[in-house]
Amino acid sequence: MKRPITILTVALAFLVSHPAIGDELDYEGSSSPVGSTVHVDLQPVGYSVYVGDDGCDGCTDGCSGCADGCATRGSSRGRNGSLFGSKACGCNGNAACGSCQNSWDSFCGDSCGGCGSCQADSFCRRWGGVEYLHVWTKGRALPPLVTEGTLPGFARLNGVDSATVVFGDHDIGQDLKSGARVVAGTWLDEYALVGVGVKLMGVEDDSTSFYASAPGTDNVVLARPYYDTNPALPPQENSFIVARMMDGLQPFTASGNVAVNASHDIYIGDAFARYMLKCEKGHRLDLVGGYLYSRFDDGIEIISNTTVGADVVTVADHFNTINELHAGGMGLLSEYEHGPVTVSMMGRVNVGDMRQKVNIRGFTNINNSPHPVTPDSGLFARSETNAGQYERQQIVVMPEVNFNMTYAVSNNLDISVGYTFMYWNNVVLAAEQIDRNVNGDQLADGVINAGPQDPSFSFVDSDYYIHAINIGLIGRF
């Protein structure tokens, strides 16, 4: 039994001391005997290299005689952390070189040293970048807010008078907006199995403004429409006059103006982690999850000024909402890499608690007049019925999808372009909280003597979504 052991010992010593022969047993990833598949984990830093053969007779001449069936010769980590194999016997097909597939595998520097083997620290552990966003959002519905008509009418809707809506009764906020997103992250291990990162996104203020005036010296009538629930009258469309010339139906001339301002702000933050589930040549699949925060600030104000003689009557309504979401999410991220190009697709579902706030306030001011004034009430915001602050919490589902393509333009810099979609199934928006039902009995003295407590308040919710096209720069270091 001593003879076989002695022969094996001599053979191993011979192979180790003769590199020319040892090339076919290269620890850093060479062809194994036909039909075999092994894992070699002999890199100094524990870098895992796959070696195998899918029916080729081996790579004895730099793979020049091997077709695509030649097994993976070595592995190297790509820019996204994937372990990518090479259909070549050595660096770029050179049998004398190490296991680097090509220059892109060690893009953060010449860690292959010309022919050396790629170590685990040859990839970029950290990344960070900024993206410019073209953003489209779902429109926000407005009720009819300003009407215009002619004498002898009062600019009332629904055929009561010959009136037209000059502002409202349509959606706003559908125009293209600019935004920005900042991303940063790091791999937590030398094998790029686990990574963490943050994303911060903001969209420019979406502002919509309207202004109209009338002198009250012609037949133009400017008004603010509402639906009158005064029990002394049949329920019908009515209007609060802003400007109108005196006639047999109105014993005074009024000039005036009305302004409407709407605003909308979006802020989104995301702290995430990713864990590699699957890795194969040119592709990796990760589990992604983390914490997401989003906030919408939405508001609308309607202010009218009516001048009658020396008196100026100012009536204002303010509606503001806040939607603040704290959510946890989970999904999948798939990345495909080919040379300097990486294509990624991510889908994630976030579920969490949305705190929704509504603030309603109004005021009426009449200068130089002894007439009764209701300082805490406007037309749609009445201190007797609906003005105040309201808050509730809702469970909200927010799915998001992202497609991205990056191109490596230098050793440490990528350019990216992509698309993002986000959806919220429950939000409250300011204009949707306006109740157009107004009991006109209170408009004279601020007191409802009979009839319903209108306008009233109850949460009115809807869904919301964002589309964004992004282009940016990502640095790796």
Please report the domains of the chain, with CATH numbers, ordered by start residue. Answer: 22-122 (no CATH), 126-476 (2.40.128.100)
Mean pLDDT computed over 297-310: 96
Mean pLDDT computed over 187-196: 92
HEC secondary structure over the chain: CHHHHHHHHHHHHHHHHCHHHHHHHCCCCCCCCCCCEEEECCCCCCCCEEEECCCCCCCCCCCCCCCCCCCCECEEECCCCCEEECCCCCECCECCCCCCCCHHHHCCCCCCCCCCCCCHHHCCCEEEEEEEEEEEECCEECCCCEEEEECCCCCCCCCCCCCEEEECCCEECCCCEEEEEEEEEEECCCCCCEEEEEEEEEEEEEEEEEEEEECCCCCEEEEEEEEECCCCCCCEEEEEEEEECCCCCCCCCEEEEEEEEEEEEEEEEEEEEEEEEEEECCEEEEEEEEEEEEEEEEEEEEEEEEEECCEEEEEEEEEEEEEEEEEEEEEEEEEEEECCEEEEEEEEEEEEEEEEEEEEEEEEEECCCCCCCCCCCCCCCCCCCCCEEEEEEEEEEEEEEEEEEEEEEECCEEEEEEEEEEEEEEECCCHHHCCCEECHHHCCCCCCCCCCCCCCCCCCCEEEEEEEEEEEEEEEC
Instruction: Pick 404 or 371 by higher pLDDT.
Output: 404
User: Which range, 150-159, 328-337, 445-454, is most confident?
Assistant: 328-337
Q: What is the spatial distance between Cα 204 and Cα 178, in angstroms, rounded to a whole number?
A: 6
Q: pLDDT by residue (tens digit) across 140-156?
A: 999 999 999 999 999 99
- Structure tokens that stand for 193 in this block: 């199995």
Q: pLDDT by residue (tens digit) across 216-256?
A: 989 999 999 999 999 998 889 999 999 999 998 888 899 99
CB 76 within 8 A of CB 83: yes
Q: pLDDT by residue (tens digit) across 83-126?
A: 443 333 333 333 333 333 333 333 333 333 333 333 333 467 89
Mean pLDDT computed over 470-475: 97
- The mean pLDDT of the chain is 80
**HSE (side-chain half, CA atoms, 13 Å) at 139:** 10
Mean pLDDT computed over 276-301: 96
Q: What is the spatial distance between Cα 360 and Cα 356, in angstroms, rounded to a whole number?
A: 13
Residue 100: what pLDDT?
Answer: 35
Residue 398: what pLDDT?
Answer: 98
Q: pLDDT over 70 for what percent of the chain?
A: 73
pLDDT at 138 over 80: yes
Q: pLDDT by residue (tens digit) across 367-396?
A: 876 655 667 899 999 998 999 999 999 999
Instruction: Pick 7 or 134 by higher pLDDT.
Output: 134
Answer positive or negative: Cα dihedral of 62, 55, 37, 287.
positive
CB 96 within 8 A of CB 112: no
Q: Report the range of poorest mean pLDDT among 24-28, 402-406, 424-428.
A: 24-28
CB 365 within 8 A of CB 375: yes
Residue 172: what pLDDT?
Answer: 97
pLDDT at 461 over 70: yes
pLDDT at 3 over 70: no
pLDDT band of 406, cuts 50, 70, 90? very high
Residue 297: what pLDDT?
Answer: 97
C-alpha distances (whole Å) from 83 to each of 77, 105, 125, 446 are 5, 9, 14, 74
Instruction: Pick 15 or 316 by higher pLDDT.
Output: 316
Amino acid at 255: S
Instruction: Pick 475 or 45 by higher pLDDT.
Output: 475
